Structure 1
Amino acid sequence: MTNSNQNALKSPLKLKNGVTIKNRLFKSAMSEQLGDNLHNPSYGLVRLYDTWAKGGIGLSVTGNVMVDRFALGEPKNVVLDEKSYLSMFEQWAEAGKRDDTQLWIQLNHPGKQSPKFLTKEPVAPSAVPLGKGFDKTFNTPRELTEQEIFSIIQKFAISAGLAKRVGFSGVQIHGAHGYLISQFLSPHHNRRTDGWGGSLENRMRFVLEVFRAIRKTVGESYPVGIKLNSADFMKSGFTHEESMAVVKQLEKEGIDLVEISGGTYESPSMTGYKVKDSTRKREAYFLEYAEKVRKEIDVPFVVTGGFRSGAAMISALESGATDMIGIARPLAVMPDFPNRLMDNEIPAIHFDDPTTGFKAVDRMTLMSILWYEFQIERIAKGKAPDPALNAWRVVFQAFARMGIYGFSKRRG
């Protein structure tokens, strides 16, 4: 890359609330599975985010932290609530903010996307099960009462207040990938006939109330962002047009940063599933959507998914489609990728998708997530990532630890 390219990546981004992010590289959330038995952060998370901060990332977003310890998406999720051991969160926040890095905590509720072995009766906007083939892993959810909806909204606000208290730089609401907020937005999953369902105005009410409750708790100057689907990429799901309408409303409400992704458990577009060849060549899976929505709104944007080269990142920034470049899996393989990219040490990162050689096994184990979890765990233990890590070794180790649960359908 040329010096102008480097400067584009290195240039600070100032949010409307006055907070400055030191560069344009954004670590998107990944599945970490590094909570302890009480769902507090392990020391491994402290070491992991210290490593990423040293690696040069501008803004780092944690793996999803649950707002309700009785509603988990994965066995080792971290939970932030009144019962949490805040000292470990303080250590985590301090480590992740090294070298003037912004560290935002991602807050989430899984809704129906909580496996059977974790939740016998998951909740959702409506009693609609996940699609065909998921019945072996996920129970049909129970429809939330209105009182329960208000209770969950308050849980998001409590978690956000605690995040500010322990030292995180900001919070990100997880409104994508088929979790509870995404379920409320989807006409397929949300079939309510009250004020929380039906029209898009009603379906977006939940996310708006979550944002309002968080904003009231943390104040106007504390950054609050959201991760939102550009679309669900499934029949009768949340559409591009609906997503744009939600972003416009969030802009009016005062959202500070919007990260664009897409897909659900049933259609995992965020992992590159069924992505068109033309999209792969541009590297960013959701850039076309971003280009359209940026013509109508003025909120800072992050596009995540597929970026591997400095050239593609620069092109996306210079086009005006995005203000930050979201990267995730490359950081599990090369934690200092941001520094090496900005210092012009390497122009891109290339690695083959992990595979056992059998597509059915890869799908069953969700290898596109599991392999990277093992790399993240290595970093958390103070070891270097192993790009040559054998996929079969990952399968056997996961089975040895968790039995069949090691292969449960999980987040993207």
Structure 2
Amino acid sequence: MVVNAASGNSSDTDNLGTPFTLANGKGVKNRLFKSAMSEQLGTKAYNPSAGLSTLYARWAKGGVGIAVTGNVMIDRTALGEPKNVVLDEQSDLTEFAKWAAAGTQNATQLWMQLNHPGKQIPNFLSKEPVAPSAISLGRGLDKGFNTPRALTEAEISDIVNKFATSARLAKEAGFSGVQIHGAHGYLVSQFLSPRHNQRDDKWGGSLDNRMRFVLSVYQAIREQVGEAFPIGIKLNSADFMKGGFTEEDSMLVVQSLSQAGIDLIEISGGTYESPSMMGDKAKKKSPDEPKKESTLKREAYFLDYMEKVRKLVSTPLVVTGGFRSGTAMNQALQSGATDFIGIARTMAIDPEFPNKLVADNQHSMPLTVPTTGKPALDKLGMVGLVWYEHQMWRLAKGKDAKANLSALGVVLKTMLSAGLSAFKQRRA
């Protein structure tokens, strides 16, 4: 059965194995969506390493319907992490073509996530990052991130064009679609947030002005890739910061993107300052609001928000975060709140997780939180990130993941290989 995307709703009989057709006619074989994780597998020239092809071939064979890459930067002078991949006119497209070919095996769609970090560039990578306004990151992060310079209007237009160029090149290389990274406090998110965007020109102030950047990026990409090439976005439900991007703002942005014709919307939340996307439990809408028992039971961080959004738009939706069991995933689909289920860390441990879920709707995979046994070291070493990163590196070398991989060993190995700079603030 193929779902009519124009309806915007999944049937109450759909399950993870049910195909889906996007509004542009592109079919997706099932409802499993591998959300982006930062692989840190770029070469010194910022091209994809051979390991990325090995990793994504493994995931494609594992049965996922759509796989989204870790964030690929559109500008080699604006890196979010030391080993980022960059796609621009200087890139070696043959290496990207190999990655695309590997990741589109087994009727899998491979979408490239495109990103600009804005001010979220560690200070060892940039002395003067750029942002909508010259406002530093708060909560002590100014120690690791330099205060940005406000972008000029000409520079904003240049960045919009770079997004479009990267998308065109991704299509030429054989990727199935692209996803704009509009979440987690990166540049698109910074423009949307009144906390970080305090401009007094057409790019700031009202929500209509603050969303001008993301709509401009989408429209520029569409002009380069055509109507039939899928474009998605990862968007915050809110950034969970006082004076920041609110749930109400987010819903209006979702409606505007839907009206503009975007093909798929993935919902996440948080920023570096309030990293809601990094935990393993359902997130509160505000620091003082208790978590609903129903939300905890259904496992998904942002499912309550999605239920509200579904009433507003027919654009296909993805909810990511916290799903571990086929039972909860199928319940989410059948509720009509989402059309795809985003998974990530589970696939870093078991690349066959999608195949197992489709074969057995009750299959589950609880994850334990890796720890060194020393909370201070866990925080310093960013264990919740680097432990999964090391699992991906194992897969990229053709090995299996190791569920009992020592968290302490991972921290020590990372520290020895890259020094303390390896633990500078990083996010997916």
Asked if residue 241 in structure 1 is aligned to residue 248 in structure 2, the reply is yes
Q: Deviations over 1:27-63 (max 9, x none)?
A: 0000100000000000000000000000000000000
- Residue 406 of structure 1 aligns with an amino acid whose one-letter code is A
Alignment of 1:9-48 (within 5 A): 9-48=16-55
The answer to which of 6-15 and 142-151 deviates more is 6-15
Q: Deviations over 1:4-39 (max 9, x none)?
A: 999611111100000010000000000100000000
Q: Shift of residue 128 of structure 1?
A: 0.7
**Counterpart residue number, 1:402:** 418
Residue 173 (structure 1) aligned to one of 180, 204, 208: 180
Residue 287 (structure 1) aligned to one of 299, 303, 309: 303
Q: Deviations over 1:143-174 (max 9, x none)?
A: 00000000000000000000000100000000
- The normalised TM-score by structure 2 is 0.94
- Residue 209 of structure 2 aligns with an amino acid whose one-letter code is N
**Counterpart residue number, 1:375:** 391
**C-alpha distance in 2, partners of 1:277/1:407?**
33
**Counterpart residue number, 2:286:** none
**C-alpha distance in 1, partners of 2:54/2:361?**
25
- Residue 26 of structure 1 aligns with an amino acid whose one-letter code is F
* Cα pair 1:272 1:285 within 8 Å, conserved: no
User: SS state of the match for residue 259, structure 1?
Assistant: strand
**Counterpart residue number, 1:297:** 313
Q: Report the aligned-residue RMSD.
A: 1.4
The sequence identity of aligned pairs, in percent, is 63
**Counterpart residue number, 2:328:** 312
The answer to which of 267-276 and 52-61 deviates more is 267-276
**Counterpart residue number, 2:74:** 67
Q: Deviations over 1:98-145 (max 9, x none)?
A: 011000000000000010111110000001111122122110111000
Q: Post-superposition, which runs of at least 4 consecutive aligned residues in structure 1 deviate over 4 A?
A: 4-7
User: SS state of the match for residue 141, structure 2?
Assistant: coil
Residue 213 (structure 1) aligned to one of 201, 214, 220: 220
**Counterpart residue number, 2:287:** none
Cα distance change of structure 1 residues 80 and 13 upon mapping to structure 2, 3 Å threshold: same
Cα distance change of structure 1 residues 131 and 225 upon mapping to structure 2, 3 Å threshold: same
Cα distance change of structure 1 residues 326 and 66 upon mapping to structure 2, 3 Å threshold: same
**C-alpha distance in 2, partners of 1:401/1:334?**
26
Alignment of 1:89-104 (within 5 A): 89-104=96-111
Residue 278 (structure 2) aligned to one of 268, 271, 275: 271
* Cα pair 1:112 1:122 within 8 Å, conserved: yes
**Counterpart residue number, 1:121:** 128
- The normalised TM-score by structure 1 is 0.97
* Cα pair 1:66 1:79 within 8 Å, conserved: yes
User: SS state of the match for residue 135, structure 1?
Assistant: helix
Structure 1, gaps ≥5 residues long: none
* Cα pair 1:64 1:105 within 8 Å, conserved: yes
Residue 409 (structure 2) aligned to one of 358, 370, 393: 393
Residue 111 (structure 1) aligned to one of 118, 133, 136: 118
User: SS state of the match for residue 16, structure 2?
Assistant: helix
**Counterpart residue number, 2:370:** 354
User: SS state of the match for residue 232, structure 2?
Assistant: strand
* Cα pair 2:391 2:401 within 8 Å, conserved: yes
**C-alpha distance in 1, partners of 2:14/2:302?**
24
Residue 260 (structure 2) aligned to one of 246, 253, 272: 253
Q: Shift of residue 360 of structure 1?
A: 2.2
**Counterpart residue number, 1:186:** 193
**C-alpha distance in 2, partners of 1:338/1:224?**
23
Q: Deviations over 1:254-305 (max 9, x none)?
A: 0000000000111111122773373332210000000001011110000000
Alignment of 1:148-167 (within 5 A): 148-167=155-174
* Cα pair 1:65 1:80 within 8 Å, conserved: yes
Cα distance change of structure 1 residues 222 and 345 upon mapping to structure 2, 3 Å threshold: closer
Q: Shift of residue 76 of structure 1?
A: 0.4
* Cα pair 1:107 1:171 within 8 Å, conserved: yes
- Residue 377 of structure 1 aligns with an amino acid whose one-letter code is W
- Residue 223 of structure 2 aligns with an amino acid whose one-letter code is K
**C-alpha distance in 2, partners of 1:184/1:400?**
37
* Cα pair 1:280 1:306 within 8 Å, conserved: no
- Residue 81 of structure 1 aligns with an amino acid whose one-letter code is D
Q: Shift of residue 362 of structure 1?
A: 1.6
